[in-house]
Amino acid sequence: MTNALSCRGLSKSYGKIGPWALNNVNLDLPSGQIVGLLGPNGSGKTTLLKLACGLLTPTGGTLLVGGAAPGLETKKRVSYLPDRNYLPSWMRTGDLLDYFGDFYTDFDRKKAEDMLKRLELDKKMQLKAMSKGTREKVQLVLVMSRAADLYLLDEPIGGVDPAARDYILDTIISNYREDATVVISTHLIADVEKVLDTVVFLNGGKIGLVSTTDAIRAEQGKSVDTLFREVYRC
């Protein structure tokens, strides 16, 4: 079974001689898992996700998505939620449904509409008229309504209130499929650790630890959040 994501010696530097956003990363993520990419701001989480999407080119090493290098074919199977505004702000929610439906064959419009209705989001509203929290919910709905093999969510719960956070995590759980992998990159560890299969600690561009929530709790007798704070104490 090919790994959803596979990195060998992956390195990325934004300057000619460093600093290294990612430094010699080796990682294998099988499918059918919800993975937490945990680390402080600036640890390289976003860089890793962008590399997987083909928005950045590696400085060294390789990265494979479902066995293939990032390109046209992988983009059909990867659903990415960036940690920023990337959709044209003049578009209305309804327009975005058309847009995603036009470009992605795996987009389930009915599912998206149901989710929008449940969240009481108006299809006629323009993105620019929405609050930050509402906008993030819309972006999440669009991304999760695709039947992708790999979901890359960059800080999906960062900018929203606790109730919305619960809804977002619940959506991730309910959408779980055995042949798909969800990567959640976040620094809000306590909120997500119950939802994760695998936990990957990332700091300063290097992988610190790869384990499962239960293994950490069983071995250390503490939550992942507590362990993380100890390991990466400032």
Partner 1 sequence: MDWDFDDQRPIYAQLVEQVERAVVSGIWPPGSRLPGVRELASEAGVNPNTMQRALAALEQGGLVYAQRTAGRFVTEDEALIADKRRSLAGSLAADFVGNMRALGVNGDELCRLVRAAAEAPKAAGAPP
Partner 2 sequence: MLGKVMKYEFRACGRLLLPFFAMALILSGLIRLAFTAAPMVWAPLAELLRGFATLGGVVVVIALVLFSFAYVVVRFYQSMVTGEAYLSFTLPVKVSTHLTARLIVGTVYCLVGILLAVLAAIIIIPGFFAFLTSGSIPVSVSGASESIMLSLADIPAGVLWSVLGMLAASALVGTLCNLLYAHVSIAVAPVFTKHRVIGSIAVYLVLSSIESILSMLPFLPLFYNIGPTNSDLVNYLSNWMTDNLFTTMGNLMGPAWVVVGIGLAVNLVFAVIHFFLTKWALSKKLNLE
DSSP reduced 3-state for 219: helix
Per CB under 8 A, the list member of 5, 20, 25, 104 interacting with partner 2 is 104
Pull the structure tokens for residue 39: 């680390």
Binding string, residues 71-100; x marks residues near partner 2 by CB under 8 A: -xx-xx-x-x-x-xxxxx-x--------x-
Per CB under 8 A, the list member of 30, 32, 54, 159 interacting with partner 2 is 54
| φ and ψ at residue 121, rounded to 5 degrees | -100, 130
DSSP reduced 3-state for 59: coil
Closest CA to 117 of 147, 93, 144, 98: 93
**Preceding omega of 19 cis (within 30 degrees of 0):** yes
What distance in Å separates the CA atoms of residue 136 and residue 213, rounded to the nearest whole number? 27
Task: Determine the distance from the C-alpha atom of residue 32 to the mean position of all C-alpha atoms in its chain, rounded to a whole number.
Answer: 15
Identify which range of 57-65, 129-137, 164-172, 200-208 contacts partner 1 by CB under 8 A.
164-172
Indicate whether 3 belongs to the interface with partner 1 (CB under 8 A).
no
**Closest distance to partner 1 from the beta carbon of 197 (Å):** 5
What distance in Å separates the CA atoms of residue 149 and residue 48, rounded to the nearest whole number? 17
Q: Identify the helix (H) or strand (E) that includes residue 210.
A: strand 206-212
Per CB under 8 A, the list member of 195, 206, 209, 211 interacting with partner 1 is 195
194 contact choice in partner 2, partner 1, none (CB below 5 to 8 Å, kind-dependent) = partner 1
**Closest distance to partner 2 from the beta carbon of 124 (Å):** 17
With contact defined as beta carbons under 8 Å apart, do 53 and 152 qualify? yes
In the bound state with partner 2, the residue whose beta carbon lies nearer, of 139 and 186, is 139
What distance in Å separates the CA atoms of residue 165 and residue 80, rounded to the nearest whole number? 18
Per CB under 8 A, the list member of 34, 150, 153, 184 interacting with partner 1 is 34
53 contact choice in partner 2, partner 1, none (CB below 5 to 8 Å, kind-dependent) = partner 2
Binding site for partner 1 (CB under 8 A): 32-34, 166, 169-170, 173-174, 176, 190, 193-197, 213-215, 217-218, 221-223, 225-226
Binding site for partner 2 (CB under 8 A): 14, 50, 53-57, 72-73, 75-76, 78, 80, 82, 84-88, 90, 99, 102-104
